[in-house]
Structure 1
Amino acid sequence: MEETQRRIRAVHTTSTITVYQAYSPEIGLPAVREGRFPTAWKRDRMTWIKPSFLWMMYRCGWGAKAGQETVLAVEITRDGFEWALRHACLSSYVRGVHPDRATWQRQLKHAPTRIQWDPERDLHLQALPYRSLQLGLAGEAARRYADEWTVSISDVTPLAREIRTLVGNGDLDSAARLLPQELPYLPADELPAHLRP
């Protein structure tokens, strides 16, 4: 049952998919201004991208958490996103999916991307009974993300604040109307069974 409740939900076109991240203004504002991540953005660190806007709001506290005050919508190529999916390993060991823990650890050590399925969130940022994708990018994947896959970077901090205010005022209908319209995303290529949504 849980397996069918895993979905990649995202704003996407025929050629791009939008993911979200949050950074300090020192990173986020130059990224928006230049349309690409600045040199201060660490390309050798693991970075997590989230196709779910509300999961990002949960993670960054609507852009109120220290070091996450600038919320970015990063439009990347579908080709890049699907490369990341094809080269991913699950972020945690799952009995029955991996032959054994040692095999999973070897796969995880060498995989440039990691998949994690986390509970989707509602407007109050409470967990829902189905899960959405987080994708961790390291090494080659992080470099490709920053320097090859990124199509555009937008500052959605004002949107986050507006929705948070509406939720705080109890106007959930207006808040919901402002949410990015995320639809199920179906990768073009067949994914390995253990990574399928």
Structure 2
Amino acid sequence: MRTREIRASFNRDAITVYQAYAPAIGRPAAERGVFVSPFSRHRMTWIKPSFLWMMARSDWARKSGQETVLAIRITRTGWEEALSQAVPTDPDRRVFRSSDEWRRQFAKAVVHVQWDPERSLRGQKLEARSIQVGLTRHIIDRYVDDWILGIDDCTPMVRKVHGLLREGRTSQAREHLPKERLYPPSSGLARRLGAD
């Protein structure tokens, strides 16, 4: 059984990742198609290709500071550039020979990768692990200035799906979910990330 896999909405040129912000950051980003102040380029930002993981994290856009959910289309070359510089947040024996090797690499990493339990439509933790990619301040300019192709505010869709779930209309809720499929990293990237 595959437990660490990248599932995403993507095509030949782009992949969609999700972030949730307070309206003061999220709304201007969606309106302008780029992150602007008060978005900070001086702190780590995490991008996630799993929509349902983002829903669990933001509680369907109800958590304070996460009321605006953005779908951000970035270039696949940018995505793979980030992954090629990533170091997992744990000393996975499939990736590192020792904890010391991991510590040395992680101390210099400009991109972090974390594998968290994927979520079901109702938020239950699943056996499969979903990728989160943390971009440090050393690479965030590349993300904001070079990789982003478009930013959509998907909060209305989030609220609609959550409303259908609350009404017990699970099959209708599922119809509105983004279509995600297995993203195929190269064998070298898979080894670097500890992906299956």
**TM-score grouping bracket, smaller chain normalisation:** over 0.9
* RMSD (Å), alpha carbons: 1.4
Q: Which residue of 2 aligns with 1:89?
A: 87
Q: 1:109 pairs with 94, 107, 110, which one?
A: 107
| Number of residue pairs aligned between Structure 1 and Structure 2 | 195
- 1:6-53 CA distances to partner (integer Å, 9 max, x unpaired)? 111111010000000000011001100110000321112111100000
Unaligned segments of structure 2, at least 5 residues: none
Q: Which residue of 1 aligns with 2:97?
A: 99
Relative to structure 2, which stretch is displaced further, 89-98 or 109-118? 89-98
Relative to structure 2, which stretch is displaced further, 38-47 or 88-97? 88-97
Is the Cα–Cα contact under 8 Å of residues 17 and 48 in structure 2 kept in the other structure? Answer: yes
Question: Whole-Å Cα distance in 2 between the matches of residues 176 and 7 of structure 1?
Answer: 21
Matching residue's letter, 1:66 = S
Q: 1:39 pairs with 34, 37, 40, which one?
A: 37
Q: Which residue of 1 aligns with 2:58?
A: 60
Q: Which residue of 1 aligns with 2:139?
A: 141
Cα distance, 1:5 vs structure 2: 2.0
Matches within 5 A, 1:10-49: 10-49=8-47
Question: Whole-Å Cα distance in 2 between the matches of residues 113 and 184 of structure 1?
Answer: 22
Q: SS of the counterpart of 1:191?
A: helix
Question: Whole-Å Cα distance in 2 between the matches of residues 78 and 128 of structure 1?
Answer: 27
Question: Whole-Å Cα distance in 1 between the matches of residues 112 and 10 of structure 2?
Answer: 21
Question: Whole-Å Cα distance in 1 between the matches of residues 134 and 178 of structure 2?
Answer: 22
Matching residue's letter, 1:89 = V
Cα distance, 1:143 vs structure 2: 1.6
Unaligned segments of structure 1, at least 5 residues: none
Question: Whole-Å Cα distance in 2 between the matches of residues 117 and 153 of structure 1?
Answer: 24
Question: Whole-Å Cα distance in 2 between the matches of residues 144 and 68 of structure 1?
Answer: 23
Rate the CA distance shift 1:98–1:172 in 2: closer, same or farther, 3 A: same
Runs of 4+ in structure 1 over 3 Å off? none
Is the Cα–Cα contact under 8 Å of residues 6 and 130 in structure 2 kept in the other structure? Answer: yes
Question: Whole-Å Cα distance in 2 between the matches of residues 93 and 27 of structure 1?
Answer: 34
Question: Whole-Å Cα distance in 2 between the matches of residues 125 and 193 of structure 1?
Answer: 29
**Identity over aligned residues, as a percent?**
46
Question: Whole-Å Cα distance in 1 between the matches of residues 48 and 62 of structure 2?
Answer: 18
Question: Whole-Å Cα distance in 1 between the matches of residues 94 and 68 of structure 2?
Answer: 40
Is the Cα–Cα contact under 8 Å of residues 86 and 192 in structure 2 kept in the other structure? Answer: no
Question: Whole-Å Cα distance in 1 between the matches of residues 139 and 15 of structure 2?
Answer: 16
Is the Cα–Cα contact under 8 Å of residues 25 and 37 in structure 2 kept in the other structure? Answer: no
TM-score (normalised: structure 1): 0.94
